[in-house]
């Protein structure tokens, strides 16, 4: 089960990451729960390192796991928010087309936080998938 994911990095992905590199510019709704867990400095350090890693992966061809998707053998549920500003629309489609036995569920009004905004529905869909015959 995956959401908010991509198998490779596009130039536009890097632009999106750079726009939110500085956590002090995040909305308090997004930042506060993470600052509570990691402290503001800790969150900034972790997020900055993550952004730096994405830049390095891009410089080295951009393959996060694209070359390994065909090796995935288990049933896979892909969940995606159609309005996700961090994950381009082509990413969930690429995952769906390249992971055998994959299914896609899209939240038409969803963004990157579908697991929070649609928590009850999200959990129900995930539970149903996990309990389905294809996963047992």
Give the chain as a 3 state SS string. Answer: CEECCCCECCHHHHHHHHHCCCHHHCCHHHHHHHHHHHCHHHHHHHHHHHHHHHHHHHHCCCECCHHHHHHCCCCEEEEEECCCCCCCCHHHHHHHHHCCCEEEEEECCCCCCHHHHCHHHHHHHHHHHHHCCCCC
pLDDT at 136 over 70: no
Residue range 15-52, pLDDT digits in tens: 999 999 999 999 898 899 899 999 999 999 999 999 99
In terms of Cα–Cα distance, which of 98, 103, 101 is closest to 70? Answer: 98
Residues 6+ apart with CB under 8 A from 88: 6, 10, 12, 13
Give the domain ranges of the chain.
2-6+67-133, 11-60
Residue range 89-133, pLDDT digits in tens: 999 999 999 999 999 999 999 999 899 899 999 999 999 999 997
């Amino acid at each position: 089960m995956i959401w908010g994911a991509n198998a490779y990095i596009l130039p536009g992905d890097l632009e999106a990451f750079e726009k939110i590199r500085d956590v002090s510019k995040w909305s308090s709704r997004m930042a506060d729960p993470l600052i509570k867990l990691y402290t503001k400095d800790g969150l900034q350090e972790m997020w900055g390192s993550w952004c730096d890693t994405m830049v390095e992966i891009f410089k080295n061809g951009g393959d996060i796991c694209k070359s390994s998707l065909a090796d995935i053998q288990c049933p896979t549920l892909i969940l995606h928010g159609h309005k996700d500003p961090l994950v381009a629309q082509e990413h969930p489609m690429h995952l769906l087309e390249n992971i055998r036995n994959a299914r896609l569920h899209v939240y038409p009004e969803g963004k990157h936080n579908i697991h929070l905004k649609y928590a009850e529905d999200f959990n129900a869909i995930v539970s149903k998938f996990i309990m389905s015959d294809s996963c047992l």
